[in-house]
């Protein structure tokens, strides 16, 4: 990578200063100036002087780490550097002219040294300013792009770590609740307990596969939830009633893995289990405008902190935010006086 950048730099140096030389030849031709062998050497001297002086400037800028400075701090330094580089450029050129007698019939030769120096600064030194501006702003833009890339990469890494952390909490949280349901069956109904263990095995197998993905199909998630509710029905028996209202077209829609299961678990833990006569859990899946709408209803009441501060709801909000940003939405509210309704809206256009 570094070799490629260095090669690109030298191509720009030779090409840029070569263009300066060609422009001199062009204007000489336009104004009918005699283009002799000495004039060619003079042009080559200008090109060589420009390459050498600006390369020294580049080396100095890199050594002093000026490219790392903010623009307001580097600007005064660059002005001084441009003046010094221009003097080096002109002095080198004048020295070669003097040693090899390249002035021909140049009128500048009749002038004193100070006047010639000033005239050359105005004539040739003006090229140093655009070179410096191009060099600095090229690196300034590259640095900004790199910072943006690094920032995005860091944000992506943070989101990935947060998602993995959330998932690592969800699975143990789910397992412990499922095991409690099975434990209640061991003495009362060993045969059903064995069936429940098979159901739990299916759920764990699915959840382990889901760990590798950021989203899974709603159908797959719904199957996990059905197995989970079958386990919970063992514990609650007739106190737990389950209803489904599913638009089949939504079954292929991706959703965060274990999210629906977490919300259903939350509905049972904070809703059904608190009711003496139990209650109903209803799962609704449909399209609403450009959103996939998931609704989990349960009998019960919205008792503040039980819902607002619970891990299930917090993890749902965090995962939707991390995966879909502000375009997804989660809301939980109490409706009809004795029903809690959790609603998830996931934009369809983001997950196709």
Mean pLDDT of 123-151: 83
Closest alpha carbon to 322 in 287, 346, 289: 346
- Tell me: pLDDT of 346 over 60: yes
pLDDT, tens digit, for every residue of 97-133?
A: 777 776 655 555 555 667 777 777 777 778 888 898 8
What pLDDT does 247 receive? 94
What pLDDT does 239 receive? 92
In whole angstroms, give the CA distance from residue 219 to residue 201. 18
65 vs 298: which has the higher pLDDT: 298
Domains of the chain: 2-149 (no CATH), 184-351 (3.30.565.10)
What pLDDT does 339 receive? 92
What pLDDT does 305 receive? 47
341 has which bridge partners? 297, 333
**DSSP summary character for residue 192:** H
Q: What's the distance, CA 239 to chain centroid? A: 48
What pLDDT does 3 receive? 61
What pLDDT does 154 receive? 62
What pLDDT does 177 receive? 66
Sheet strand arrangement including 329-335: 240-246, 279-288, 291-299, 339-347, 329-335
pLDDT, tens digit, for every residue of 238-258?
A: 899 999 999 999 999 999 888
- Tell me: pLDDT of 335 over 80: yes
In whole angstroms, give the CA distance from residue 78 to residue 85. 10
Residues 6+ apart with CB under 8 A from 295: 282, 283, 284, 285, 341, 342, 343, 344
- Tell me: pLDDT of 164 over 80: no
pLDDT, tens digit, for every residue of 298-323?
A: 998 887 544 545 566 777 888 888 88
pLDDT band with cut points at 50, 70 and 90 for residue 174: low
């Amino acid at each position: 990578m570094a070799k490629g950048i260095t090669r690109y730099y030298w191509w720009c140096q030779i090409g840029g200063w070569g263009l300066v030389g060609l422009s001199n030849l062009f204007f000489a031709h336009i104004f009918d100036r005699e283009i002799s062998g000495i004039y060619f050497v003079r042009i080559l001297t200008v090109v060589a002087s420009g390459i050498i002086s600006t390369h020294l400037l580049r080396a100095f800028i890199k050594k002093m780490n000026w490219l790392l400075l903010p623009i307001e701090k580097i600007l005064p330094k660059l002005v001084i550097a441009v003046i010094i580089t221009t003097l080096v450029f002109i002095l080198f050129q004048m020295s070669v002219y003097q040693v090899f007698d390249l002035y021909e019939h140049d009128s500048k030769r009749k002038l004193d040294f100070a006047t010639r120096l000033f005239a050359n600064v105005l004539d040739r030194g003006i090229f140093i300013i655009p070179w410096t501006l191009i060099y600095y702003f090229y690196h300034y833009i590259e640095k900004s792009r790199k910072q943006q890339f690094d920032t995005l990469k860091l944000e992506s890494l943070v989101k990935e770590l947060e998602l993995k952390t959330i998932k690592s909490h969800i699975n143990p949280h789910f397992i412990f609740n499922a095991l409690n349901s099975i434990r209640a069956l061991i003495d009362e109904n060993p045969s059903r307990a064995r069936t429940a263990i098979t159901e739990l095995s299916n759920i764990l197998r699915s959840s382990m596969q889901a760990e590798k993905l950021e989203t899974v199909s709603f159908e797959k998630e719904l199957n996990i939830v059905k197995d989970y509710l079958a386990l919970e029905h063992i514990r609650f028996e007739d106190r737990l009633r389950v209803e489904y209202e599913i638009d089949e077209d939504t079954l292929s829609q991706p959703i965060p893995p274990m999210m629906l299961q977490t919300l259903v678990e939350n509905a049972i833990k904070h809703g059904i289990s608190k009711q003496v006569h139990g209650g109903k859990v209803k799962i609704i899946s449909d399209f609403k405008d450009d959103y996939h709408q998931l609704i989990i209803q349960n009998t019960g009441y919205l008792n503040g902190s039980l819902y607002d501060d619970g891990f299930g709801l917090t993890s749902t909000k965090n995962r939707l935010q991390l995966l879909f940003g502000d375009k997804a939405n989660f809301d939980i509210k109490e409706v009809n006086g004795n029903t809690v309704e959790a609603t998830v809206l996931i934009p369809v256009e983001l997950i196709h």
